[in-house]
Amino acid sequence: MVHPALFIKAMEGIIRCGGHHLALVVSIFSFFLPVCKSLNYGEALHKSLLYFATQRSGPTGGGWSHGSLLLATAGGHDNITASLQSRPNQTRVRCGGGTSAAMAAASIVFRTTNPSYSSMLLEHAEQLFEFGDEYRGKYDDSIEEVRGYYPSSSGYNDELLWASLWLYKATKRDYYLSFALRNALSFGGIAWPVNEFSWDIKYAGLQIIASMLLTEEMHKKQEKILKEYQSRGEHYLCGCLNLNKVDNVKRTRGGLLYTRQWNNMQYVSNAAFLLTVYSELLQATNQKLHCHRGKMGPEEILSFAKSQIDYILGDNPMAISYLVGFGPTYPQRVHHRGSSLPSYTKSREFIGCMQGYSYWRDPNPNVLVGALVGGPDLNDEFRDERSNYMQTEACKYNTAPLVGVFAKLHSLENDS
């Protein structure tokens, strides 16, 4: 069963993993806002976004006081507060484009409950899009410090398409849709299929957004290019379902989607999320997904997405829940500084930045409830050790997609 508490745990996991420097999280929330509202989760969603403003990472985008400054942060073992300003003479399009998309998406979230805040977010989103479009380039070309943590492999084109489509959803201004259509081929939106959706590679997500526009009569004139977007997005979904002729996503023997060794769960939760979103679209339009190796209806698609969630929650060869704090057995040694270090009220011993917290053998003193760790390898095997960061590291972009999937699965239980 998907209990409402899972939704809360997921929200806690996103908040406790700290900050909001990865803008994909906010955009993903907004993807599933209609479902969240129908389940009375809208208020919780709004509160969770506002809660980010109280974190030490700083306020949400609407709190900015100047339109020409964007702060990019990165830090290592001995410096977790390093920051660099994104000024107009430097290329920062991933930061600008990704943050623009997040603010546009968040403006939709707050439109009803806080109109003035929503307007401020949208104003900043449009400013950042203009900035990102004018000063194109990979952000890690000018912020070299981040290459060891979040290197850009996909470039900046997907960020601009992602931002333009979210801005179109938020404003309905033809300029933003025209941007996505005009640059569809040259920016890679319809040039080649992908087999992952992540903070770095957003093509599958923006292709699904474009697909949604086909359901609206007002977009009949743009049908040709929108259908090309849809075709690429459906290739990704078919690959997750093992229905492509070639280029399917790998699976472990236990049935988990497997993309790569380091933090594989981010690709699993994102896939489950997009499959759930698309099943909603197919259900609403009374259609099926057409793949090279057959058709699949919305119920079957959602069933597969649920199988990935079931694996995450403990239905797997190791009988481990990879969502921290859920179930009788879950990772005890999450690779996370705040979770690993004892509270000052418990121990006043000085702990230096370069001391070996990742090598301590005891379970974490602070349970990182709601965090989704990197998960098992291709053989469904998992080592619960802090030094095994590829499997035990917790990231908020792992947990964020689960919120929408949990909401959908819980709604089905209420209906049954």
Alpha carbon distance 193, 73 (integer Å): 31
Quickly count: other Cβ atoms within 10 Å of residue 71's Cβ. 13
8 Å CB contact between 106 and 166: no
8 Å CB contact between 166 and 105: yes
Alpha carbon distance 58, 341 (integer Å): 22
Radius of gyration of the chain (CA): 21
Alpha carbon distance 103, 60 (integer Å): 9
Of the candidates 259, 301, 258, 303, the residue with the CA atom closest to the CA atom of residue 278: 301
DSSP state string for 24-76? HHHHHHHHTHHHHHHTT-HHHHHHHHHHGGGSTT---GGG-S-TT-EEEE--B
DSSP state string for 222-234? GHHHHHHHHHHHH
Alpha carbon distance 312, 315 (integer Å): 7
Would you call 258 helix, strand, or coil by DSSP? strand
DSSP state string for 191-230? TS--S---SS--HHHHHHHHHHHTTSGGGGGGHHHHHHHH
8 Å CB contact between 26 and 52: no
8 Å CB contact between 60 and 49: yes
Burial class of residue 358 (count of CB atoms within 10 Å of its CB; 0-12, 13-18, 19+): middle
**Does the annotation count 335 as an active-site position?**
yes
What percent of the chain is helix, strand and coil (3-state, nearest 5)?
Answer: 50, 5, 40
Q: Which two tokens stand for residue 111?
A: 């439109």
Query: Which one of the listed residues 46, 235, 335, 410 is annotated catalytic?
Result: 335
8 Å CB contact between 45 and 82: no
- What are the catalytic residues? 335
